[in-house]
Chains A and B, each alone.
Chain A
Amino acid sequence: MHMSDALLTPVVGVTMLATGSGTLGYSIRSIKSDIYEKRLPLMGVMGAFLFAAQMINFSIPGTGSSGHIGGALLLAIILGPYAGFLTLATVLFIQALFFADGGLLALGCNLMNMGFFTIFLAYPYVYKKIVKNGLSKKTIMIGSILTAIIGLQLGSLGVVLETYLSGRTQLPIGLFLLFMQPIHLAIGFIEGIVTGIIVNYLYTQNPNYLFQDEVIKRKPIRRSNIALILLVALVIGGMVSQYASSNPDGLEWSIYKSASASEINNDSSVIDWFNKTQEKLAIMPDYSFADDGIKESIGTSVSGIFGSLLTLCLTILVGTIIRRKRRGNERYE
């Protein structure tokens, strides 16, 4: 369910990053320093375990297929919500950096979709309520299944909304929801059962392996800071998208502004001769094909794409020369 950078616009990505950072700050403030110090090694090892757990394939009875767990709920049950969320954040960060799973811009979205909904909504309001009247194998199992289903439903809803708001998919939102939600209902059910069985095993071995609630003395959060981050995120996001979607080429735009004309008139006969020659020679005069094989209206983008491909080829050539030259130098050193 990892979202990637390519599916997002900066406004959505940065806003979600700001929201994710706010939740991270809240979680850090919620754990007292001495408790954090003590729990840090366990958080580190459990984070690494979550990586390894992605590689364990659980065969799903009666289907012949197998799958792995997301693990946010398992982290919350073993480490508690705050430490669980922080651990998940570092796991997602490492996945984005080293495993090309997710992305730096999409980190906020992934953190909220895969972490926040399960850990801060489903875990306290579903799981904790169900196991409130006494932990037992039955309550743990029911709690895990319901929590995983609700967490994943909200998470996949987040994925749909964020992708839809970014406008990168042409799938109508109704169809998108119809595609995503039922799949995640099944995934949530399996995740719940796997988590329930694992937690039950830990519970029978030693109930202390599961997170015990503690009295939390939270430092006050500076709300103004969160508001400021959100504001900055929106402004930056807005500015960047404005910059990128501005239609005219920067140079043409500035000339247009200063000369109040879309193209500067030239009366010189020499320039006129050069212009005519260039038009005859160029395969893409003024960014559209001279050949009639391509529609005039779309010429700009065709020449744009070919121009870019040409630039990429040139860059690869320059890159190869740099590498060759360096290796040549190394040989002589």
Chain B
Amino acid sequence: MRDMNRFVKSMFNLAELEQLSRRKTMINKWHPSIKIIITFIYILILTSVDGYELGKVLLFGVYPILLLSIADIPTRVIASKLIIPAFISISLVAFNPLFDQEIVLVINNIGISGGVISLCSLFSKSLFTISATLILVSTTSIEKIGDGLRWLRIPKKLVILLLLVYRYIGVLLDEVSKTIEAYQLRANGGSGIHISAWGSLVGQIIIRSIKRSEEIYNAMLLRGYHIGDEE
């Protein structure tokens, strides 16, 4: 049942971000494309800082901290989605302290190696880039992000697909969670789905999804759906 909690949790978090994005704070009212551009430039400049310059990297924390306060986003919401991904994202450089043992800092006779400094700075970078992105989505609804992307000349076909995928995440998560719950109640323990059920369990979800998409297509047609050649 551990999986169930993850489903519910991730769904809940998505809803939580969406609720935040629909408020009317100062930052929520900014044009979405401006917010997308600012976030991207922030990430661009932050990632260009050298891995050993921990001091400079830490200064970049001012931006997310201030924005969190101005947009009045509960720190709990961001923190719950931030810490674990930040740790996972730096797993590729987790060995830096082993390979760079040259002492670059000595504080009260305790030596700190270059590897530790670079790991700390990468972790901080990770925290800041992820928070900047989370702040963007917690102050901008998905429809507004779509608007912003259109303004930035991203093709209409891609933006509609983005909105469609986003909208159906909740539906599919619900469907998959129900299917897995039904499986687990009959599976007599064990972790994960047994190989004998891989095809039928996932295959059935896909077939249901294909049928669902046909219904959606008909519903869209009835409401005058037409993309056209515009890009």
Binding site for B on A (CB under 8 A): 2-10, 13-14, 24-25, 28, 33, 36-38, 40-49, 51-53, 55-61, 64-66, 78, 86-87, 89-91, 93-94, 96-101, 103-105, 159, 163, 167-172, 194, 197-198, 200-202, 205, 209, 236, 240-241, 243-245, 293-295, 298, 301-309, 311-312, 315-316, 318-320, 322-323, 326
CB distance from A246 to the nearest CB of B (A): 11
Q: Which residues of B contact A33 (CB under 8 A)?
A: 227-229
Question: How distant is A271 from chain B, measured CB to nearest CB, in Å?
Answer: 28
Assess whether B89 is in contact with A105, with CB atoms less than 8 Å apart. Answer: no
- A308: chain B residues within 8 A (beta carbon): 54-59, 61
**Distance in angstroms between the alpha carbons of A86 and B130 in the assembled complex:** 24
- Which residues of B1-59 have CB atoms within 8 Å of chain A's CB atoms? 3, 6-7, 10, 14, 17, 39-40, 43-59
**Total A-B contacts with CB atoms under 8 angstroms apart:** 333
Partner of B213, one of A6, A7, A44, A51: A44
Q: Give the Cβ gap from B59 to chain A, nearest Cβ, in Å.
A: 5
Which residue of chain A has the shortest Cβ distance to B121 in the bound complex? A6
B107 lies within 8 A of A169 (CB): no
Q: List 26 A-B contacts (CB under 8 A).
A: A4-B90, A5-B46, A36-B227, A37-B225, A37-B227, A41-B217, A42-B210, A46-B209, A48-B167, A90-B162, A94-B162, A97-B145, A101-B85, A163-B93, A169-B92, A200-B199, A241-B48, A243-B48, A294-B105, A301-B55, A301-B104, A304-B56, A307-B55, A309-B58, A319-B66, A319-B69
Interchain CB contact under 8 A, B115 and A312? no
The answer for the CA separation of A233 and B58 in the assembled complex, in Å, is 26
Question: B77 at the A/B interface (Cβ < 8 Å)?
Answer: no
Closest partner residue, chain B, to A299 (CB atom): B105
Query: How far, in Å, is A166 (CB) from chain B's closest CB?
Result: 8
CA distance A66 to B108 in the complex (A): 47
A10 to B105, CA, bound (A): 27
Contacting residues of chain B (129-163) with chain A, CB-CB under 8 angstroms: 129-130, 133-134, 136-137, 145, 155, 157-158, 160-162
Among A86, A170, A244, point to the contact of B96 (Cβ < 8 A).
A170
Give every chain B residue within 8 A of A51 (Cβ-Cβ): 165, 169, 172-173
**Docked CA distance A125–B178 (Å):** 38
Q: Which B residues are in CB contact (< 8 Å) with A14?
A: 44
Cross-chain contact of A202 among B171, B207, B227 (Cβ < 8 A): B207
Identity of the chain A residue whose Cβ is nearest the Cβ of B159 in the assembled complex: A90
> B101-131 toward A: CB 8 Å interface, digit per residue (1/0)?
0001111110000010110001101100110
